[in-house]
Structure 1
Amino acid sequence: MKNVKRPRGSKDVWLNAAYELLIEGGIDAVKVMPLAKRLNLSRTGFYWYFEDLAELHRAMIERWEEKNTGNLVARCNLAAANIGDALFNVMDCWLDPALFDAKLDLAIRNWARIDTGLKHRLSQADDLRIQALADMFIRFGYSSEQAQVRSLTVVYTQIGYISMHVEEDWNDRLKRVPHYVELFSGLSPLTADVEQFLNRHCFVNSQE
């Protein structure tokens, strides 16, 4: 009987598993053997896609940049009728893991504490996020000084939210978002914009 070769998986399969280990145990947990064991794949399959752990690390960081920072910047640049509408587009990131992976963002920040190169990349990512938000505020008539402070408030609020591992009832969390939008913008969001936002996130009105 011929020996059956174990499948190699795919680059995305190995990357996804690496992210799971990163989130669960930090960067020190991301090793080839634990990855292979988790996937039930041969460790040689890893080297089919990555030269070494350093290349895996680079791929992980690049994917994080593309997803979290890339999507946040894209949401800031979406067409919007007013600042409230624009901020709701950004708030979508904090509610949809397909747009922004909060657990991954925290894991990257923890990793950056012990990796100076990543710390620099993280600083660049935060600068890009803050600038995209500031540009968004400026488009709606805020001064550059106001835009900068408001964008910092948005970013730092979310970093704190993630770092504190806040857990909330889904509906309660959604109901708070319009208040955050008012806080960040200094303006009450339009009822139509609030309703559109709540509807796209499946808000359930218990009073109905």
Structure 2
Amino acid sequence: MESEEPLGRGWRGTEDGWIAAAYDMLIEGGVEAVKILPLAKRLRLSRTSFYWHFQDREALLAALVKRWQDKNTGNLIRQTERPAPSIAAALLNLFDCWISADLFDSRLEAAMRDWARTDAALGEAFTDADARRTAAIRAMFERHGFGADEADIRASAIYLTQVGYIALGTAESLERRLERIPTYIETFTGQRATEDELAVFAARHLKG
């Protein structure tokens, strides 16, 4: 039987710290791994410290769902709404999500989709998120002069391609991803990005 002795006396940790540890366990082992005692041991805190921040495990899981909604869905929508002089530049703004984990966390997205297969409420949240994200991409195309039907098809193609990347665990180096970006832009928009647009995009992601 595992000991439940306090591992960190006199300190209860922070709400963000508990959520961060829960995030790590979700990524590593799925939602079933996110349990209070293992989290407490990882943080070297007593199990009772958890209850200063959360009513129960369900409240912690709800915080993980909110983190996913705010980061992945929220940032994706905001990126589609950024001002852009062309549809190519607008799509490059969206593609920032596929490059930067600060904007869109693909590991979290994959773990959440796995979780949603066994949680009906989260499954519904994903249905809503997928619809909102696709609608935002569609609206981006419409703002750049595409008709509703064409915008819908192009938006779906873009979104389902990225969902496929995540579902298959496709890994590409940053250099390889940047090499492919111009062709993706032309494929998804029917237009070519300018050299200046591509240079600005690359500069956002290349270090040094």
TM-score after normalising by structure 1: 0.93
Q: Does the CA-based 8 Å contact 1:174-1:203 persist in structure 2?
A: no
Listed as ranges, the matches of 1:31-46 within 5 Å are: 31-46=35-50
Task: Kindly provide the CA deviation profile for residues 30-50 of structure 1, in whole angstroms up to 9, marking residues without a partner as x.
Answer: 000111111111111111110
Task: Kindly provide the CA deviation profile for residues 125-175 of structure 1, in whole angstroms up to 9, marking residues without a partner as x.
Answer: 111100000000000011111111111111111111011111222211111
Listed as ranges, the matches of 1:120-199 within 5 Å are: 120-199=124-203
Deviation at 1:203, TM superposition (A): 7.1
Listed as ranges, the matches of 1:15-26 within 5 Å are: 15-26=19-30
Letter in 1 for 2:96: D
Letter in 1 for 2:60: L
The number of equivalent residue pairs is 201
Deviation at 1:59, TM superposition (A): 1.1
Q: Which runs of 5+ in 1 are unaligned?
A: none
**Aligned-partner Cα distance in 2 for 1:75–1:115:** 29
Deviation at 1:5, TM superposition (A): 2.8
Superposition RMSD in Å:
1.3
Task: Kindly provide the CA deviation profile for residues 99-144 of structure 1, in whole angstroms up to 9, marking residues without a partner as x.
Answer: 0100000101000000000000011011110000000000001111
Aligned mate of 1:92, from 93, 96, 100: 96
Q: Does the CA-based 8 Å contact 1:6-1:42 persist in structure 2?
A: no
**Aligned-partner Cα distance in 2 for 1:31–1:186:** 48
**Aligned-partner Cα distance in 2 for 1:5–1:113:** 38
Task: Kindly provide the CA deviation profile for residues 167-196 of structure 1, in whole angstroms up to 9, marking residues without a partner as x.
Answer: 222211111112111111111111110111
Indicate the percent of aligned positions where both proteins have the same amino acid.
Answer: 43
Runs of 4+ in 1 over 3 A off after TM superposition: none
Q: Which runs of 5+ in 2 are unaligned?
A: 1-7
Aligned to 1:110: 114
Letter in 2 for 1:157: T
SS of 2:118's partner is: coil
**Aligned-partner Cα distance in 2 for 1:118–1:142:** 33
Q: Does the CA-based 8 Å contact 2:9-2:45 persist in structure 1?
A: no
Deviation at 1:94, TM superposition (A): 0.8
Aligned to 2:68: 64
